[in-house]
Amino acid sequence: MKKKLISVLLGITLVVSNCSYVGAVDIGDSAVEVPDFSDEVQEDELFSDGSEEVPETEDETVHPAATTEKVKVGIKGSYLAASQAVLDRINQIRREAYEEGVQDPRDPSKKLTMADYVPLKWSSDLEYIARIRSAEASVRREHIRPCNMWPESIWAPGGTTSYAENLAWNRANDMLYGINQWYGEKNDWVNQTGRVTGHYESLITPEY
């Protein structure tokens, strides 16, 4: 029997480097099909090149619950093309935080300044990772892959991996909706309410 789940997911992967990049993808309203293990699934771009196989030696990218047993499944859905709009919105949020002198996520006792501001650039490698994570997180809604490995176990063809990820679930079928979900944490960060603000912090952290 095949189970169908309706999900909406926006996946963002961020990487720390000399230049800041962002990759994002939204799989929209999609029927996620989880077939019987006996079903043959044709490999496509949703799957990595196998570099996420559990290594024999200890590796920090491997979750403690990971096993060597692997089953590949197909995820039915579609991707939205809104990269420029997403990039513009994130950079708008970042610039606003620096202009207003919002608390620095690296040290909340200090304020961000325009001297810290670096606009993000789009990365096709991180988009590759975000596509995989979007599909995976539609069936396992947490920051652990279905194969019980950490997200940074995925390597893009260009040799890039991610160091953090923001995930958002909604039914808007709109990538910007997910970005604004994270932006909605700004008030809690500014007022230090103690509520979840990690997504907003990721958007404005200078190293990202």
Is 0.75 surpassed by the pTM of this model?
Answer: no
Tokens representing 185 are: 């944490």
Q: For helices 83-100 and 175-183, what crossing angle results, to 10°?
A: 20
The pLDDT tens digits for 8-47 are: 334 454 433 333 445 544 433 333 333 333 333 333 333 3
**Environment class of 54 (CB within 10 Å of its CB; exposed 0-12, middle 13-18, buried 19+):** middle
Res 69: pLDDT:
67
Using alpha carbons only, how large is the chain's radius of gyration in Å? 18
Domain boundaries of the chain, sorted by first residue: 12-16+73-204
The residue with tokens 């909340």 is 108
Tokens of 55: 């290594």
> What is the structure's pLDDT at 60?
57
144-171 tens-digit pLDDT: 999 899 999 999 999 999 988 999 988 8
**Is 204:112 a contact under the CB 8 Å cutoff?**
yes
Report the 10 Å Cβ neighbour count for 12. 31
